A and B are shown apart, each in its own frame.
Chain A
C-alpha cells in the first residue's frame, strides 16, 4: 500500500543524545516536509525539501537538520536533544513542482526528551 512510513513510533531520549527520525514515502512525491505538533500550537514546519538534493528551513528549524539524498527518504536529525524538543513529529509529502499543495502525512513519531 502506497504511503508514508515513519520510525520509530515513539521514543524516550535522554537530553544531549543524538536522534534520527526516519521517513520514507513510496509515492514518488517531489516535496517532503517535517512538522512538530504541540498542544495548542498546531503543526509547525521544521524543514522541507522541494526535490531530492535540496532542503529549506521552515518556521522552527533550530536544533534540527535534514538531508534529501533521494526522492523517497527524508530523515530528521536532532544533534543534541533538549526537553523542549519533546513533541509529536509528522513527516509529509506532496506532488507537483511547487510543493505547496495537498500533503499526505505519516503516522507520526512521539518523542520525549528527558
Chain B
C-alpha cells in the first residue's frame, strides 16, 4: 500500500544548529504539504508545493519538492526553541491523502 516515510523519526539539536527532515512517498504525489504539530496540539499548515523541483522559503525554513514528485525536504536554518514540534509532510495521490510518519524535533537551549 501507499507509504509516506520520514527520516529521521527523532532529532535533537542544540539551539542555533540546522535541521533537515526528509520525506519519501512510494507513489507520485499531486502536491506536497508540510504541517507542524506542537506537543499536545493539532497540525498547523506551513506550506504547499505543487511543481516538480519547486523550492520555497519561509524565513529560516526551506522546502523542496523532488523532481519525481515522490520526495521532499524541510530544512530549518539556525533552529530556535520555538521550532520544537513534530513536522509532517503530506500529499494527495488519486482520491486519497497521506501523511508522513513525522519527525519530532527537540531544540536544546
Contact = CB atoms under 8 A, between A and B. Distances in A.
A107 B96 CA distance: 22
B64 to A, nearest CB: 19
A56 interface: yes
Contacts of B92: 100
B27 interface: no
A90 B96 contact: no
Interface residues of A, number: 23
Contacts of B42: 90, 105-108
Contacts of B9: 40
Interface string B93-109: 00111111110000000
Contacts, number: 54
A49 to B, nearest CB: 12
29 contacts: A33-B97, A35-B99, A41-B101, A42-B88, A42-B100, A42-B101, A42-B102, A43-B43, A45-B96, A45-B99, A48-B97, A58-B96, A58-B97, A59-B1, A59-B2, A59-B98, A90-B42, A100-B92, A101-B48, A102-B33, A102-B45, A103-B33, A103-B43, A103-B45, A104-B45, A105-B43, A107-B41, A107-B42, A108-B42
Interface of A: 33, 35, 40-45, 48, 56, 58-59, 90, 92, 100-108
